[in-house]
Each structure stands twice: as C-alpha cells, then as structure tokens.
Amino acid sequence: MSLTTSVQEQLAQANLSRERFRELITRLLSWGVLVRDEDRTEQLLYDDARRVEGLLSDYFDLAGLLLHHDSNAQFFRLYGPGAVVDGLPEDTLEPVPSLKARVSADFVAAALALRFLYQERLNGGYIDPQGEALVSFEDLAATLQTQIKRPLPAGTTDRMALLAELKRHRLLRYASTFSIADEDAYLAIRPTILGVVSNDALAAALEAEGRIEAESEAAAEPAAGAAQAEGVAS
C-alpha cells in the first residue's frame, strides 16, 4: 500500500477531505501554531486538526518536525528539528539552519519580557482558567526596561506594530479596541509563550544585560512560520 493510499484511507475514516488536510499542513507550516480561541477560522482548523492529530503528527515526524498539542490550552504548535522546549522530550535531531527566520531584536526582547511576566503571574497564582496572564502595557514596558534592559520602540506606531507581531505569533491576545494610552486596557499573555521561551533562555537573557540576538528559528517555515527563537528557546 502506498503512503498516499494510506493517508487517504485515514482521512476517509475521519471524514476529512484531502484538500482540508492539505490546508491544515499549509497553515501549520506557514504559521507554526493553531490556537482555538483566536477566531472562528482557527477554531474550525483546530477542531479538524484534532480529528486527524495522529496522522498530522506522523506526517510532520517524517520531516523531522514535532507537532505538539496542548489539549488544556487548546493549541497546536509545530517545532523544527532540534528544538529545546521545556516539558517536552529532548529532540536528538540536529537543528536545520535553513529553517531559521529573522525576527527583530525588539520582538525577541518583548517575548522574553512576556515570558518573565507570565512566570511571575504563574508563581503568584494569577493565571486565569484559560491559562492566560493579564498584564498592562506599562507592565511590559517596565519589565523590558528593568529586567531585559531594553526599551520599547520609541513611536506609538512602532509599538503597536510590535504588539501586532506578538499577536500574530499567538503569544498575546488583546481587544480590537486596545490602545496603549488606555491604562485600564490589558494584554493577555497566552500559555504558548512557554513553548517559545525556555527557562534557560530567559535566565541567560536576564544575565545578558540587553544583548539580544535577532535571529530566531521558525517553527517550520523560514519566512512566515511562528518564531521559536534561538537564544529565546534554544
């Protein structure tokens, strides 16, 4: 039996079309993550991915990629070869340089600050039932300055663009009406941050006095995949 025939039979058992399976693969390769509560589209993608979770895992495993499913927080994340992720078995494969993308130093610094804040809220028992930690924009700015030793981008436009990039990587959630000038507005740090910034990487960053590497390892695809930063999650 050919691999294609085997896949088609499993898809038929799950009542999922080949086109939908291809869409799931493309989405994970492009974005690196599926979070159910992001929007209606992603909810449907996540639900379909759960139906063929074993098949997706086998498919990516053949390519040396790891598909992790957090059923409690309801998200899938795709990791490249050699990724070191807290709480997951060690990947013995060598990292693949061609699966590395570039994110800005501002993004890496902000991700580190979010990880610090999430751990702080986790230690204090301030995590909501969805596994998220609520923080203000000022919390983020202060943590960047005092712990990571890096300031936020200077302009409001650049700051909102940074938040949008963190949201695109599913590290943050905030309302469409969010404004950094609103002291009562909150950012929700998603539990996905734990799979992007390791404990060791955070500890190293806190000792680095603001020296941040801007290169990151994409979860799967070098241009658009979700970041899993080298020096962030090494």
Tokens found for residue 171: 């590290």
Stated pTM of the model? 0.83
CATH number assigned to the domain with residue range 3-84, chosen from the 4 options 1.10.3470, 1.10.10, 3.30.43, 2.40.160: 1.10.10
Alpha carbon distance 57, 134 (integer Å): 32
Question: β-pairing, 33-35 with 75-79?
Answer: antiparallel
What residues does 215 pair with on adjacent strands? 102
Q: Convert the pLDDT of each residue in 153-193 to its tens digit.
A: 999 999 999 999 999 999 999 999 999 989 889 999 999 99
The CATH topology of domain 102-228 is Arc Repressor Mutant, subunit A (1.10.10)
- All CATH 1.10.10.10 domain ranges of the chain, comma separated, are 102-228
Residue 34 phi, psi (nearest 5): -130, 120
Q: Convert the pLDDT of each residue in 56-108 to its tens digit.
A: 999 999 988 999 999 999 999 998 887 767 777 777 776 665 566 567 889 99
Q: Convert the pLDDT of each residue in 188-212 to its tens digit.
A: 999 999 988 888 888 888 887 655 5
